[in-house]
Amino acid sequence: MLDIWYEIHYMAYKMTSRTNASEARQALRQLALKLPQVLQAAMSVRGEVMAASLSKTQKTCGKPNCKCARGQKHVVYQLSWTENGKRHSAHIKAGELNEIRAVVGRYRRLRQCRAELLKTASEGAALIDALIDALIVAAPGKTSGSKS
């Protein structure tokens, strides 16, 4: 009676492991497709990069007769970056905007690729752990805690 119960239990366990292993493999297959895309995106970045961020703000200049005093505020682009742990910022002139936007944009894209790569690697490691859990068998020998 106990043997039959154990056998059913064991079969159910085996089926679950197979399902888990198959699911883990399937998810790993998805990652395998995603990985080259992430690397490709990083490789496709060409040109200089600047470790800074660009933000667009609106402000008033203080002149009473200016259009900004009537609600049409001036658009200002501000570049911010950190140097030796200190935060810096500077206004960007209209003539510099396109180039700054490009170098900052490339930096952001590379950082995003890097983050995506780490996330993919960590997901992959978790899936491999799941695969090991699903496939693992006990080493032979004198082990305690075996079912009797």
Instruction: Please answer whether residues 38 and 113 qualify as being in contact, where contact means their C-beta atoms are separated by less than 8 angstroms.
Output: yes
* Distance in angstroms (rounded) separating the CA atoms of residues 47 and 45: 7
Stretch binding Zn ion (CB under 5 A), from 5-13, 28-36, 67-75, 118-126: 67-75
Give the range of 15-23, 68-76, 89-97, 129-137 binding Zn ion by CB under 5 A: 68-76
Residue recorded with tokens 């799941």: 130
- Could you tell me the smallest distance in angstroms from the CB atom of residue 97 to Zn ion? 19
Task: Considering the complex, state which of residue 14 and residue 67 has its C-beta at the smaller distance from Zn ion.
Answer: 67
- The distance of closest approach from Cβ of residue 65 to Zn ion in the complex, given in angstroms and rounded to an integer, is 9
Two tokens at 7? 């056998």
Q: Looking at 11, 66, 115, 125, which residue binds Zn ion (CB under 5 A)? A: 66
Assess 75 for contact with Zn ion (CB under 5 A).
Answer: no
Residue 32 binding Zn ion, by CB under 5 A:
no
Residue 48 host element (H or E): none
The answer to the question of residue 100 lying near Zn ion (CB under 5 A) is no
Angle CA 21–24–28, to nearest 5: 135
Would you count residue 68 as binding Zn ion (CB under 5 A)? yes
**DSSP string over 116-137:** HHHHHHHHHHHHHHHHHHHH--
